[in-house]
Amino acid sequence: MDPSPSVEQAAAPAGRRALVAALLITAAVVLVLDQLAKAWAVRALADGRSIEVVGDLVQLRLFRNPGAAFSFATGGTWVFTIVATVASVAIVRASRRLGSALWALALGLLLGGALGNLADRLFREPGFARGHVVDFVDLPRFFVFNLADASITAAAVLIALLSWRGVRVEGGRLTSSAPAPPVAGEAG
């Protein structure tokens, strides 16, 4: 047997590097757009005004959220700082197994969103690791969010779809290891 790697084996690391690069580029784009949008919102909406985007359905209005989604656990900002940090590290570690472009996209969206809100928690008022997340897209009577939140939500939907379809992070599909049930009338 020839000890040299096959063309497929040699191409696998290059393909994986491209997927990791796609994940990191996606995360960077989300992070930059999120922070630019938040900077705009803080500057343009600080006076308490709101901008109607779609009548009363979608408005731009500044909120500072010390908690999680839907202002849940407003006293636990430091906990969310730790959770976002751990999640970001876990995503980067999982990227070493990437074999699917859709998983690279999903994890990039998730990482970018987590880092966008983590940046707020680390560097915004009232202080380091206790900062409030800037939310500004207001769906009155429902919730207020930002681009990082939208990215996290899109990632969650994509991850759910990939999981439902059996697409693995490494690429390929999950297969059932259980033996097929016998068909009626067959001898076993």
Residue 163 CA to residue 96 CA, distance in Å, equals: 19
Task: Say which of 34, 120, 135, 138 is annotated catalytic.
Answer: 135
| 135 labelled catalytic | yes
Residue 101 CA to residue 23 CA, distance in Å, equals: 9
| 47 labelled catalytic | no
Task: Say which of 34, 120, 138, 149 is annotated catalytic.
Answer: 149
Q: Among residues 90, 117, 109, 118, which one has the least CA distance to residue 23?
A: 109
What are the residue numbers of the active site? 135, 149
